[in-house]
Amino acid sequence: MKTKMLSCSEADLEEAAELIKSGNVVGMPTETVYGLAANAFDKTAVAKIFEAKGRPSDNPLIVHVADLDTAANAVSEIPPIAKKLAERFWPGPLTMILPKSDKIPMITSGGLDTVGIRMPSHTAARRLIELCGVPLAAPSANLSGSPSPTTAKRVFEDMNGRIPAIIDGGESDVGVESTVISFEGDGIRILRPGGITREMLCAEAENVTVDKGVLNELDEGAVVLSPGMKYKHYAPQAQVILIKGDLSAYREYVLKNAAEGDFCLVFNASEAVNFIPYLVYGSTSGEQAHMLFEALRRFDELGAKRVFARCPSPEGVGLAVYNRILRASGFCVIDLEVLK
Ligand code: TXA
Ligand code: MG
């Protein structure tokens, strides 16, 4: 199969919609990361997503809608708190786990009786969903286990020959996947942090908790609320080592330990350590979210063996950055504060 690159023109979006309506998978830009989109109601089409990604079948997909009526069609119930959050944060990077309707096949929900729903804000994504006239199931458009793609070029590298088309909608704005939440009575549990931050959710609801799996390694065989959290994620070929501590402690550690093939991941160029090659990922949490996955993919191209990463601050969208880099490192953290 030849993978065609499409633009965000109306004609190209119509072409993409025709492909989806006839049961195919298309690479779709969103404001978080790129997705692999298919008709969420069509079992055979959704099976093609799992095949293209090499994704375990118990890992559920997020269903994307362009309006609230379609969302209501995909779920059996929308509690008042979910309605309030939809009004406040949709369209945008918030996925809500709700009881699914009979229209969503089990393959889409990974065998669960709930479904994750979100309304993306990227204009091309919304237009595509409208043209298809059905909700679109779309996981991130990477091969299972690699960092999520934030440009059409990166989707092409993973999916060339596996899907018929990719829509190029430019760089993803946020750069990390959506915030995933579930509801427990009046409370909200954050299963995966993202662009809608804990602080933003706390302003709307009394009881907001961050699931243990966000910052901790799960025990073997543990029951997880979000199946995606069990799998090794976002990992480049290089061993990422997350270094906690101030800049001078970081520099000292790197100078002592770096060998041939090692790289630094620093906030800005002024933090570079002598002759050791480096990439920067930004001084603010927003920049770090925007650049992290691209940096991880770039390390692979550079043939990095190990990456000594400056540890992001876990406030705001920084919690999402911290969660992703922690998983990219396989929970390999060196805390220089403790070693002092
Ligand atoms: O920003 C995003 O959410 C992107 C773009 C394309 O929209 N999509 C995305 O999908 O990141 P994916 O499949 O890579 O991640 C979906 C996450 C997984 O961790 C999965 O376990 C969780 O959402 N999830 C989906 N449905 C769920 C459900 N019913 N219950 C619990 N967790 C669910
Ligand atoms: Mg993913």
Give the whole-angstrom CA distance, residue 288 versus residue 266. Answer: 10
Q: Is the CB of 116 under 6 A from ligand 1?
A: yes
pLDDT band at 56 (very low <50, low <70, confident <90, very high): confident
Q: Is residue 198 pLDDT above 70, yes or no?
A: yes
Which residue's entry shows tokens 């997503």?
49
pLDDT of residue 199: 97
Return the bridge partners of 264, or none.
Answer: 278, 308
Determine the atom of ligand 1 nearest the C-alpha atom of 28.
Answer: 6
pLDDT of residue 339: 67
Q: What are phi and psi of 116, to 5 degrees?
A: -90, 125
State the distance from the centre of ligand 1 to the C-alpha of 274, rounded, in angstroms: 40
Q: Is the CB of 181 under 6 A from ligand 1?
A: no
For residue 145, give the ligand nearest its CA. 2
Q: Is the CB of 30 under 6 A from ligand 1?
A: yes
Token pair for residue 97? 């786990």
Kindly report the average pLDDT of the chain as a whole number. Answer: 94
Q: Is residue 325 pLDDT above 70, yes or no?
A: yes
**For ligand 1, atom 6, which residue shows the shortest CA distance?**
35
Whether residue 120 is preceded by a cis peptide bond, meaning omega within 30 degrees of 0, is no
pLDDT of residue 338: 77
Q: Is residue 134 pLDDT above 90, yes or no?
A: yes
pLDDT of residue 228: 66
